[in-house]
Chain A
Amino acid sequence: MKNTLPETGAFYARDRAWQPPALTPLYKTSVTRSPQRAMLSLDGTKTEITGPVFGHNILGELDNDLIRNYARPGEMPIGQRILVHGRVLDERGKGVGGALVEFWQANAGGRYRHKKEMYLAAVDPNFGGVGRTITDEDGYYWFKTIKPGPYPWMNWVNDWRPAHIHFSVFGHGFAQRLITQMYFEGDPLIWKCPIVKTIPDEAAIRQLIAPLDMNATIPMDMRAYKFDIVLRGRRSTFFENRKEGN
């Protein structure tokens, strides 16, 4: 973390026309899990301005290496080796340092390692599909993994999820808490997916698609995809409380 005073202002209002609404009937499960009454909107209080910040002491050496963190000694998972990297920023373009980023995904065949998963594609004995990291002072993060495969799901008769990696991000205040999914450049399934299409604005969807990044690719080893994540911006405390001398 940089040696600067922590920021204490409230966060910019969330753009609810940009974010997916709760009720999106083409994604069937949302029908009974979406509130029908309007949300109660108000400017952030102490409760949402603050939030947990995690220390590096929670991290193990292989936490951001999904190629090795579940593999048996001397073995490796099967699939396309990739590096996923990028920055966690806020809406002002400032890097969010010290942010915990968690990620999870299916294996190369689209199979998740989960008790309730029933897809017939094989489990990979050397792939768990979970990792985490903490951004550096500029908000940068990276992890190594296997590119996940598309995955069929019980929604409409023939729905397939595009290849995707789930992300969970903590910023500096609980108001920034976010879970999202990263998609891969050029995947034709993106534009058919009812979960992707819960997002009303095409520009917001494009922001979830990671481009192939040949400059970060490691020759003869792994390709790279770049994925930046933007959290809510933070107002100056000037507008909140002049006593703090901003």
Chain B
Amino acid sequence: MVQSLGYLKETASQTAGPYVHIGCTPNFCGIEGVFPTDLGSGPLYNDKTKGERIKVRGFVYDGTGTALKDAMVEIWQADADGFYNSPSETRGKADPNFFGWGRQPGDMATGEFCFDTIKPGRVPFRDSDPRPMAPHILFWIVARGINIGLQTRMYFSDEETANAEDPILSRIEHQVRVPTLIGKRQGDTYRFDIHLQGPDETIFFDI
């Protein structure tokens, strides 16, 4: 026998279930008076936030092409200059008027989600490999039927040059799937649909 490494095991994930809104967006599902507002709701910016105002809209589709109406989507992104508002950000101070995190349930009738945010700047890949990543927003999707939160990224259709040199996009073997990670610009809105399964299946990350 050898010594034990002594590490603990990560707590196993379980589905967020159909009533995730009770815990994460209670006002949205009619439980009012406990929290003043739902955490992460509303625009991610205020009047003083630097950067271009954009909307990101989309649906989460299951393997039959049906839009989920009970998903919860969270996003995490850098500010306009590419800094994260996080204690683990080592390169400098992020815009104090940009928290960088948002949370939205899908519309109860249609399932569409919508974030009002800013377009993020470019962020270096790692300390050890500072190549710039293309601007992107991390997406995290939980719902009934999803046993562990699914993580993906939205890149921007009008950032072709940056996307072409992105250290992640450029290493994906099946380049035919890269478009599943690109939000398509229409005016000030990027449309980003997430397909959980099927021919247009979104690339999900284990990261």
Contacts and interface: CB of A to CB of B under 8 A. Distances in A.
Main secondary structure of the interface of B (DSSP, over half): loop
Contacts of B15: 27, 30, 179, 181, 195, 198
A116 interface: yes
Nearest to A231: B10
Interface string B10-44: 11111111111111101001110111100100000
Contacts of B10: 14-15, 18-19, 91, 178, 230-232
B35 A30 contact: no
B123 A46 contact: yes
B133 A47 contact: yes
A93 interface: yes
B2 interface: no
Contacts of A173: 86, 88
A168 interface: yes
Contact of B147 (A10, A21, A115, A244): A21
A172 B87 contact: yes
A36 B136 CA distance: 24
Interface stretch (B46-54, B110-118, B124-132, B156-164): B124-132
Nearest to B32: A128
A114 B22 contact: yes
A136 interface: no
B128 to A, nearest CB: 5
Contact of B12 (A42, A116, A208): A208
B128 A240 contact: yes
Contact of A166 (B11, B20, B63): B20
B207 to A, nearest CB: 5
A35 interface: yes
A130 B34 contact: yes
Nearest to B68: A33
A240 B16 CA distance: 33
Contacts of A58: 39
B49 to A, nearest CB: 15
Contacts of A192: none
A179 B13 contact: yes
Contacts of A31: 63, 145
Nearest to A62: B34
Interface in B155-206: 168, 172, 177, 196-198, 201-206
A24 interface: yes
A207 B76 contact: no
B136 A70 contact: no
Contacts of A62: 34
B135 to A, nearest CB: 11
A32 B47 CA distance: 42
Given A52-B100, A129-B22, A91 B8 contact: yes
A102 B35 CA distance: 12
B24 to A, nearest CB: 6
Interface of A: 6-8, 10, 14-16, 18-22, 24, 27-37, 39-54, 58, 60, 62-63, 69-70, 89-93, 102-104, 112-117, 128-132, 166, 168, 172-175, 177-181, 195-196, 198-199, 201, 203-205, 207-208, 229-233, 237, 240-241, 243-244
Given A35-B202, A179-B13, A233-B8, 19 more contacts: A18-B10, A20-B12, A22-B146, A22-B148, A36-B197, A40-B203, A42-B168, A52-B100, A70-B34, A129-B31, A130-B26, A178-B149, A180-B13, A205-B12, A208-B14, A229-B11, A230-B11, A237-B127, A240-B126
The 3 closest A-B pairs by CB, nearest first: A104-B23, A29-B145, A50-B86
8 contacts: A34-B63, A91-B8, A102-B24, A104-B26, A114-B22, A132-B35, A198-B147, A240-B127
